[in-house]
Amino acid sequence: MNICFIMYPWENIDPDNDTTLALIKECVKRNHGVAMCIPADLTIRNSVTTANCSVINRMEKTPSSLKSFYNKVKIREEMLPLAGFDVIFFRANPPLDPIMLNFLDSVKDDVFIMNSLEGMREANNKLYTAAFGDAHSNIIPATHVSKSKRYLIKQIKESTADKMILKPLNGFGGSGVILIEKSAMSNINSLLDFYITNSDGSSSYVILQDYIEGADQGDVRILILNGEPVGAMKRVPGSDDHRSNVSAGGSVQKHSLTKEEKALCKQIGPKLVNDGLYFVGIDVIGGKLVEVNVMSPGGITYINKVYKLKTKIEEKVIDFLEMKVLDKLQAFDRRTRLRKAVQDA
């Protein structure tokens, strides 16, 4: 199997804890061909979608540790056609570039893409969680999305809660997430101006959510593969930050899924699969879904460490990709045989 990771720059990887690196290492260990590129490396060459790829040289023996693997990898540069790969694994950080997806549209029928382009278009921002909430559902906190300062201030004033969460629509890794309190209403005008108004005069959407009691104790990151949970961890905020994201200074603890969390996964799993979102990370607080991460969900290395798993999560992910590629090849062989039978008749 040949797989291309569209990701962040290789030099930006945390060699101790990076989820993408763990996935790449598992591919190399299985002797799959691995190439990497960043979105800016995509191009059209002679009417063929290609990428300036960093190709990992085959290794006789794959180092056991992630850091050692990162340091020993040898890379060469190659311009390669994307349709020649079996899998494109999308692992770039938000925000999602719609032009980049247009490049990939030309190869989506030839290559299995994780996650699907349409799924990412629909779910790349925090609005996607609203698809799981309705008048009969209580799995998401009360949520307001707007770029109208007047509307947002009205919602804050009318809320029965003393505290709410404010965050940008396209943030990631906990960036821009702040806790606001009614007792500090004098500051909210300037905060909303900062979040909504861009330097070029345009405006951005923000999300306002009811604060969930217990959020100060952390959240739960659940990794979902093909609609089923494959790992979870509790993320606990640092002493001087309300955010639980590890990138924001949070720490990780073991966590067994509660009855409510299992029910939540069962409820949203079919829609994720139907939307082609095969590998996602969801963030849960108090049994409520607060975020769905579809572009580059992390947490594999942390979950592996705290649980000392026999079967690492990256192994399950690559098993799934191998199954998808085999299914695609078998379907192609079957069509070829049937067409030949018709031609020979």
User: pLDDT digits over 203-231, tens only?
Assistant: 888 889 888 888 888 999 999 999 999 99
Q: Tell me what pLDDT residue 88 has.
A: 98
Q: Tell me what pLDDT residue 327 has.
A: 94
Q: Say whether pLDDT at 237 is over 90.
A: no
Q: Tell me what pLDDT residue 251 has.
A: 84
Q: Look at 166 and 131; give whichever has higher pLDDT.
A: 166
Q: CB of 257 within 8 A of CB of 266?
A: no
Q: Tell me what pLDDT residue 9 has.
A: 97
Mean pLDDT computed over every residue of the chain: 90
Q: CB of 81 within 8 A of CB of 294?
A: no
Q: Tell me what pLDDT residue 95 has.
A: 81
pTM: 0.86
Of 16-30, 48-62, 100-114, 207-221, the least confident: 207-221
Q: Average pLDDT in the 51-70 region?
A: 96
Q: Tell me what pLDDT residue 216 has.
A: 84
| Maximum alpha-carbon separation in the chain | 81
Q: Look at 154 and 241; give whichever has higher pLDDT.
A: 154
In angstroms, the Cα distances linking 46 to 19, 50, 81, 232, 325 are: 35, 9, 11, 45, 27
Helix intervals (H) in the chain: 19-29, 66-72, 98-105, 117-123, 149-158, 185-196, 259-274, 300-307, 313-344
Q: Tell me what pLDDT residue 112 has.
A: 97
CA dihedral 257, 261, 265, 266 (to 10 degrees): 100
Q: Tell me what pLDDT residue 198 has.
A: 85
102: number of Cβ within 10 Å: 12
Q: Say whether pLDDT at 308 is over 70.
A: yes
Domains of the chain: residue spans and CATH: 2-114 (3.40.50.20), 142-210 (3.30.1490.20), 215-313 (3.30.470.20)
Q: Average pLDDT in the 59-67 region?
A: 95
d(CA 315, CA 68): 19
169: number of Cβ within 10 Å: 18
Q: Say whether pLDDT at 77 is over 70.
A: yes
Q: Average pLDDT in the 239-248 region?
A: 53
Q: Tell me what pLDDT residue 338 has.
A: 95
Predicted confidence band of residue 168 (pLDDT cuts 50, 70, 90): confident
Q: Average pLDDT in the 304-325 region?
A: 92
pLDDT-above-90 percentage for the chain: 65
Q: Which DSSP string corresponds to 210-241?
A: EPPTTGGG-EEEEEEETTEEEEEEEEE--TT-
**CA 152, 245, 63 angle in degrees (round to 5)?**
150
Q: Tell me what pLDDT residue 311 has.
A: 83
Q: Look at 41 and 141; give whichever has higher pLDDT.
A: 41
Predicted confidence band of residue 138 (pLDDT cuts 50, 70, 90): confident
Predicted confidence band of residue 96 (pLDDT cuts 50, 70, 90): confident
Q: Tell me what pLDDT residue 136 has.
A: 47
Q: Average pLDDT in the 116-127 region?
A: 88
